[in-house]
Structures are given as structure tokens and as C-alpha cells.
Amino acid sequence: MDRRKAIAGMAAGAAVVTGAALGLPGKKTAQTAPVEDCALPARGPFSDYFPNVALYTHEGRRVLFYDDLLRGKTVMINCMSVAHDAVYPTTPNLLKVHQLLGDRVGRDVFMYSLSVDPENDTPAALRAFVEQHGIGPGWLFLTGTPDDVLQVRGRLFARSGGHVHGAGPARDCSLGMVRYGNEAVGLWGRVPAKAEPAWIAQRLGWVQPRPQSPGGFRRRGPVVAENPWLQQKDPHA
């Protein structure tokens, strides 16, 4: 055996044993440690909470829920189905939000609609739905296997038939709510999907970190806060 290779192998083995001997929690061996892609943003503080299952966009692309859709991004996510939207339409209201945000969608904020009826809402069916509503870029409609869709839905919204400890039966509000958040810093909230479009857009500003004012705290009277997310005025205001 090459002497240099033998020394390198001994050093690698010693590093693994040393970590185990110290009892470091969650420490993985060199053989099982994941390889981080340096091109990806840093993982957010709650990255382990979100499943990294494979989904499919209305464009037919395969994407990973955490790595491709959430990681390091500010997002808006709602649940829908083509059949349900015909009875209780939420897409037209969110389309107004999309229009208010302008070209920020797909750059500063990403909009996702997850189908709760993946057996019927294939990528082709979702693509036809997108074309029917004239939805522009930056807003992806997603589907996947029933199990993967249920897993994502359960992490974003309470599952029906479940139970939250100390809070009684869980309620599934996924079809009537929008989950929004800044994954990079771990700030999340929710708002009704049929709320005023400008109000939904305003919420996005609430999850953005704000730089501390120089010179410390200074008292002043109330001011009218402008919404940095709006590029167009709300025609319904």
C-alpha cells in the first residue's frame, strides 16, 4: 500500500472515532454525512421541519420541495384543486396579488399552489388551468404522489382528523389559507386566501428582516408606512 494513502486513511478513521468518543449529538460518520452544494443558499433555522420530497410543476419539471422551492426564499403557498377552485375560487384573488407584486414574483418572492387532488390534477391539467387564468411567471402549480402531497400539506397546515396536543382536534384550513414565510430567517405566518390582495402583499413585508436604525431608539409620532412589495397600486383599494 502507498505510504501516503495509508496515513491519510488512518487520519480519516481517527477523526470519525474521535467524534464518536466525544459523544457529539447528531454527528454522522464520514460515510453518511450529506454533501452540501455550495451553490445553494444556507439552510434556514427550521430546514429539518420541511420534507424534501419530489413534486412536479405545471411545466412538467421535477423539483425538490425544500431544496428547490423553499431554501433561502420568501414564499407564498396555498393549497387548491382544479375542481375545488370551480366551487370556491381562490386563484382569481391570488392572481390580483401576483399582479400587485409585479416582477418581484419569481425574484424576491415565489408563489406556489399545491394541488390536494394529485390523482386528477396532473401537470398537464394544471398547465391548462394556468393558461385559462392567464397566470404569469414566478407562480408554480404543483402536484405529486398522494403521500408526498399529504406530507407537505401536513407540514404547512393542520391535517384533518389529526390531533394537536392540548388543543383538541386539528382543523384542515389548507384550502382557505395562504402560508407565507421567509425560510432563510425562519419567519412564517398565514392569511386568508380571500383577504384583500393588498393586505396579503403587505404581509410579505412582515417577514423581511429590517436593519437596525442607526443611533439607537428615537421616539417619534405615527407615520404612514409604504409597502415596499407593491409595484402597482391596488385597483380595489
Helix (H) or strand (E) holding 164: strand 163-164
Q: Mean per-residue pLDDT for 8-25?
A: 32
Phi, psi (degrees; rounded to nearest 5) at 119: -70, -30
> What letter represents residue 136's amino acid?
G
Cell of 88: 370556491
pLDDT of residue 95: 97
What is the value of pTM for the model shown? Answer: 0.71
For the chain, what's the residue count? 237
| Interstrand relation of 187-192 and 177-182 (parallel, antiparallel or unpaired) | antiparallel
Helix (H, G, I), strand (E, B) or coil at 55: strand
Rounded to the nearest 5 percent, the helix, strand and coil shares of the chain are: 35, 20, 50
The answer for residues whose C-beta is within 8 angstroms of residue 217's C-beta and 6 or more apart is none
% of residues, the chain, pLDDT over 90: 57
Instruction: Band the pLDDT of 66: cuts 50, 70, 90.
Output: very high
Q: What is the mean pLDDT of residues 144-164?
A: 77
- Taken in order 82, 86, 90, 96, the sign of the CA dihedral is positive
Question: Which of 235, 232, 231, 229 is CA-nearest to residue 202?
Answer: 229
Query: Would you say residue 114 has pLDDT above 70?
Result: yes
Going by pLDDT thresholds of 50, 70 and 90, the confidence category of residue 193 is very high
Contact 177, 192 (CB under 8 A): yes
Residue 166 reports pLDDT greater than 60: no
Q: Which fold has domain 57-206?
A: Glutaredoxin (3.40.30)
| CA atoms of 180 and 193, how far apart (whole Å) | 11
Categorize the per-residue pLDDT at 56 as very low, low, confident or very high, splitting at 50, 70 and 90.
Answer: very high
Record the cell numbers describing residue 83, joined without a space: 375542481
Lowest mean pLDDT among 86-90, 159-163, 197-201: 159-163
Residue 127: helix, strand or coil by DSSP? helix
pLDDT at 21 over 60: no
Asked if the model's pLDDT at residue 169 lies above 60, the reply is no
Average pLDDT over residues 34-46: 73
pLDDT at 40: 77
pLDDT at 41: 81
Domain boundaries, given as residue ranges, for the chain: 57-206
Question: What is the per-residue pLDDT for 171?
Answer: 52
**What is the residue type of 77?**
I
215 vs 155 pLDDT, higher one: 155
Least confident span in 10-19, 119-128, 155-164:
10-19
Whether the per-residue pLDDT at 165 is higher than 90: the answer is no
Residue 176 has pLDDT above 70, yes or no: yes
Does pLDDT of 121 surpass 60? yes
Contact 201, 184 (CB under 8 A): no
Confidence of residue 109 (pLDDT cuts 50, 70, 90): very high
